[in-house]
Structures are given as C-alpha cells and as structure tokens.
C-alpha cells in the first residue's frame, strides 16, 4: 500500500499550496490525491484565464462572508496577504498589482501560476496521484487510511482540500463535505455565490449583451442590504458582471429586489434638470431620442418603454413635467425582483456555507474533530468577494495547514 507522511486530498489551489508548504519543511513524503485526471483544473479558469491570485486588502474581514466573523478575523490574521505573496515569490512567480489591490501573475496567465506550483511541488518530490477519488478516511495505525476506487494510501497527516460545490465541471462536488462529516464535522447550509442574479422583468432578452456602469442596491422590504457599483452585464435572465456577482453572496432567505441606477455618476436632481431641459429644447424630435448620447441605445429604449410615459414616437414637448420626473426616478432606481442566482452550481464561482470555522484551530486549520487532519479553502464556511479574496483564502489556509501538518511531524507533541 502507498504511504505518505502528509496526504493532501484535492489538488486545487489550497491543496497544492499545502503540499508545497509541507514539502518545504521536509517532514517526509507528501502526496496529492486528485480525483480528476490532472491537478489545478479550476485554477486555469480563474480570473478569465489570468488568475487573480491575491488581493492586497485580503486581511480585511469585510471582504468575506461567514456565520462566524470573529473566528474568521483570527484566521485572516494568521495568513496575511504579504505571506501568501512571499510564498509565491519563493516559488519563483513574478506578480504585479492592478486596480483595487488585485494581484495577477506578471505573465498575465493562470497557466503560469499552475506551472510554478507544479514545478516546485514535483521538484520537492511531491507525488501527484491523479484519478484517485477519495471516498473514505478512516483512522488506522499511525494515521489515516484513505480509500477510493480500489486505491488506498496510508498517511500520518491528512489535509482535506476538496473545495466546494461550485463549478462541478472543474472539480466541484460534495465529496469534501461527505468526508468531513465522516470525521465528525458538521456542514452549514450551502448556497451558490459569485453568480449572476436571476431577475423577474418583462422583455429582458432585448438587453442581452448590453454592458453599462451602474449602481446596484440589494433591497429586502425596502431596506438596503448591500450595494455595488461597476460594469453590469445585462442578460436575458437578469444581471451579471462583478456588481451582480458580489451581491449574490448577500441574498436573504426571503425575496429581495435589485435597484439599478443607470446614472450612478449623476444625482437625481441634476439628471431630472437635464431631462427637463432636453424636453424643452426642441432638439429631440421623439421620446425615443430623448436619451441619445446618455445611455446604450438598447438600454435607453427598454427603460423608456418601462417608464410607460407615452409612445416612443411622441414629441417630448407633449410630455408632462411629472412624466419627466417619473422617468428620472426609473433611471436612478429601476427595481427588479430577484428570484435567485442563475445557473445553479454551474453558474457559481464559489460556495457559501461549509464546515463551521469553530471546528478548526484558527492558527493551523487543524480539525478539532479528527486529530492529524486539517481542513482548507472553500470547504470551510468562508466566502470572499470578487477580486482575489477567494484564492487568498485557499492559498493562505493551504499554506498554514501544510506547514502545521509537517511541523507536527518534526516537532513532537504538536498535532
Ligand atoms: C470560473 C472561476 C473563476 C474564478 N476566478 C477566481 C479569481 O480570479 N480569483 C479568486 O480569488 N477566486 C476565483 N475563483 C474561486 C477560486 O477558484 C476558489 O475559491 C478556489 O479554487 C478554492 O480552492 P480549493 O483548494 O478550496 O478548491 P479547488 O480549487 O476547487 O480544489 C479542490 C480540488 O479537490 C479535488 N477533489 C474534490 N473531491 C475530491 C476527492 N474526493 N478526492 C480527490 N480529489 C478531490 C477537485 O477535483 C479539485 O481539484 C474562481 C472560481 C471559478 C469557478
């Protein structure tokens, strides 16, 4: 039977970081068990193929969502952004910082990140066991017995780095939660995050493909839950783009609405005055032409129809001042009922919920249920905003767990 000092279940972002961190400390053979035919498949798809691998503001808990904010803050203190970047520098990766603290590989290619990780892992003797889908983890003499698909491996320490439910085509699934439960852990309610918002509104198909910088507020019974500004992508089912994806992590259990402001840089009184002035100017022959130069044409036509203030061929001079006020109100606060996220797990980048943070040690990510086991990444109940926060969490927790697992073997008494 195969044996390892440290076995990593899952060759994704956190698993590869854990393997390298453990191998750097030289505590004995390290093996990565990966159910797919190769490691790091999801990593290749991150950041639209560029891999937004870190964010310089990752230490701030406000960028994450979890049921246990105080434990999360303690964990983030253990894995500062600078530490993750040093980890990559030591492995030979050049990185550069873009807008809003987003960090990318200088070569602007996710494949470079994966190549760098794999090169170091293999160079340090880490064994990649692909096609090994772990189905059970049981205590055995001197450690843990990992089995699946007729294969078995005995390991003294195990890092559970199976990821979450999101993006099943890239390795997402429920295995990690099942294995964690086998070990005595619990799992909170899971929900898709960083996904487009599905909205109920007539004729949205007309807006498919339109992009516009908008403000979006999420409202539940009129109360603001969260807001984002950025480029919204309109689709036939609702709203996509970074603002919508960010808000998808905040959907309440009951219903809610997205309030879209298509002129986030103009306050309502200025916009209203501008529209009144256009109405009177005589330069705009029809209602349809009233927003010319201000908005994407398809969005303008859609909203003029939705405002229901008159036929598109109507001369603006025939509108009442109250009609212009109503139009300005719609342009600054177009409300769409949100019915959920789009595309289920396929459409989500990450999983909300997971193994409660209180069930692992905040410094080492060691399981409090199973001695010698560590849990990392998306499997845990913490989900970050867009911008490199999720990979920070994955890499940071992987480094901490891999290091602690190896140290527990070299420093007697520490598990
Ligand atoms: C399209 C897309 C783009 C993204 N872009 C970004 C981005 O730019 N920046 C960012 O911060 N985040 C991004 N994310 C999120 C980020 O990729 C994840 O948060 C991160 O990969 C989670 O790391 P992980 O190690 O926990 O899980 P994963 O990276 O998902 O790795 C888990 C691995 O475990 C394997 N596995 C599962 N079960 C078993 C089993 N039973 N036995 C063996 N192996 C198993 C899986 O096949 C997989 O390889 C993106 C996600 C997606 C889907």
Over the chain (415 residues), what is each successive 10-residue block's mean pLDDT?
95 98 96 98 97 95 95 97 98 96 97 98 98 98 96 98 98 98 97 96 96 98 95 97 94 94 97 97 97 97 97 96 97 97 96 98 98 98 96 98 97 55
Among left, alpha and beta (phi > 0; psi -120 to 50; other), residue 211 is beta
Ligand 1 atom having least distance to the Cα of 392 = 11
Q: Tell me the CA–centroid distance for residue 328 and ligand 1, in Å.
A: 43
CA distance 231 to 243: 7
Pocket of ligand 1 (CB under 6 A): 9-15, 33-36, 41-42, 45-47, 51-52, 133-134, 161-163, 166-167, 170-171, 173, 175-176, 349-350, 377-379, 388-391, 394
Angstrom distance (rounded) from CA 12 to CA 396? 13
CA distance 365 to 8: 13
- Write phi, then psi, for 402 (nearest 5 degrees): -60, -45
159 vs 154: CA distance, rounded Å: 13
- At 254 the pLDDT is 87
- Token pair belonging to 391: 């990979």
DSSP sequence for 337-348 = EEEEESSGGGG-
Compute the distance from residue 114 Cα to the ligand 1 centre, in Å: 12
Name 141's Cβ contacts closer than 8 Å, sequence gap at least 6: none
| Residue 394 Cα: closest atom of ligand 1 | 23
Spell out the domain ranges in the chain: 2-190+353-410, 196-342
CA 347 to centroid of ligand 1, rounded, Å: 14
**Exposed, middle or buried: residue 96 (CB in 10 Å: 0-12, 13-18, 19+)?**
exposed
- Span 2-190+353-410: which CATH code? 3.50.50.60
Pocket test of ligand 1: the residue of 81, 158, 349 to mutate, having most ligand atoms within 8 Å of its CB, is 349
Q: pTM above the 0.75 mark?
A: yes
Question: Which residue owns the Cα nearest ligand 1 atom 4?
Answer: 46
Q: Measuring from atom 13 of ligand 1, which residue has the nearest CA?
A: 46
pLDDT score at 412? 60
- State how far the Cα of 189 lies from the Cα of 356, in Å rounded to an integer: 10
In the structure encoding, which two tokens stand for residue 168, read together? 């099943």
The best mutation among 390, 393, 399 to test binding of ligand 1, ranked by most ligand atoms within 8 Å of the C-beta, falls on 390
Distance 375 CA to ligand 1 centre (A): 14
Task: Identify the residue whose C-alpha is closest to ligand 1 atom 49.
Answer: 12
Residue 415 has a pLDDT of 42
CA–CA distance, 76 with 71 (Å, rounded to integer): 9
List C-alpha distances in Å: 302 to 21, 51, 212, 288, 305. Answer: 54, 35, 13, 10, 5
User: Hey, which of 163, 165, 374 would you mutate to test ligand 1's pocket, going by the most ligand atoms within 8 Å of its Cβ?
Assistant: 163
Burial bucket for residue 223 (CB in 10 Å: 0-12, 13-18, 19+): exposed
Question: How far is 313 from 97, CA to CA, in rounded Å?
Answer: 50
Ranges assigned E (strand) in 136-237: 136-140, 143-148, 151-160, 191-193, 197-199, 211-220, 223-234
Residue 276 CB contacts under 8 Å (≥ 6 apart), including other chains: 321, 324
CA distance 121 to 90: 12
């Amino acid at each position: 039977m195969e044996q390892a000092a440290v076995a990593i279940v899952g060759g994704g972002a956190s698993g590869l970081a854990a393997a390298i961190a453990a191998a750097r400390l030289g505590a004995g053979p390290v093996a990565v068990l990966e159910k797919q035919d190769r490691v790091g498949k999801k990593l290749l798809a991150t950041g639209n193929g560029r891999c937004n691998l870190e964010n310089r503001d990752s230490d701030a808990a406000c960028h994450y969502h979890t049921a246990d904010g105080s434990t999360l803050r303690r964990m983030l203190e253990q894995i500062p952004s600078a530490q993750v970047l040093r980890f990559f520098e030591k492995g030979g990766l050049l990185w550069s910082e873009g807008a809003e603290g987003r960090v990318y590989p200088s070569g602007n290619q996710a494949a470079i990140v994966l190549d760098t990780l794999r090169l170091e892992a293999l160079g340090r003797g880490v064994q990649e066991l692909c096609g090994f889908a772990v189905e059970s983890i049981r205590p055995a003499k001197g450690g843990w017995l990992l089995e699946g698909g007729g294969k078995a491996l005995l390991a003294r320490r195990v890092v559970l780095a199976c990821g979450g439910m999101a993006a099943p085509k890239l390795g997402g699934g429920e295995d990690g939660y099942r294995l964690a439960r086998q070990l005595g852990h619990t799992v909170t309610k899971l929900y898709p995050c960083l996904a487009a918002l599905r909205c109920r509104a007539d004729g949205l198909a007309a807006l498919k493909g339109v992009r516009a910088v908008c403000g979006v507020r999420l409202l539940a019974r009129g109360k603001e839950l969260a807001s984002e500004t950025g480029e919204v992508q309109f689709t036939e089912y609702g709203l996509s783009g970074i603002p919508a994806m960010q808000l998808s992590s905040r959907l309440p259990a009951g219903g809610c609405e997205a309030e879209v402001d298509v002129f986030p840089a103009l306050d309502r009184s200025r916009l209203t005055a501008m529209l009144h002035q256009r109405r009177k100017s005589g330069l705009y022959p029809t209602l349809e032409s009233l927003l010319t130069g201000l908005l994407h044409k398809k969005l303008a036509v859609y909203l003029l129809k939705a405002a229901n203030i008159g036929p598109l061929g109507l001369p603006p001079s025939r509108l009442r001042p109250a009609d212009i006020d109503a139009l300005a109100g719609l342009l600054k606060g177009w409300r769409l009922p949100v019915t959920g996220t789009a595309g289920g797990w396929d459409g989500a980048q990450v999983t909300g919920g997971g193994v409660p943070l209180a069930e692992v040690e905040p410094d080492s990510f060691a399981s409090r249920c199973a001695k010698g086991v560590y849990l990392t990444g998306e499997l845990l109940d913490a989900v970050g905003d867009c911008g490199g926060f999720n990979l920070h969490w994955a890499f940071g927790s992987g480094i901490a767990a891999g290091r602690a697992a190896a140290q527990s073997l070299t420093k007697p008494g520490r598990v």
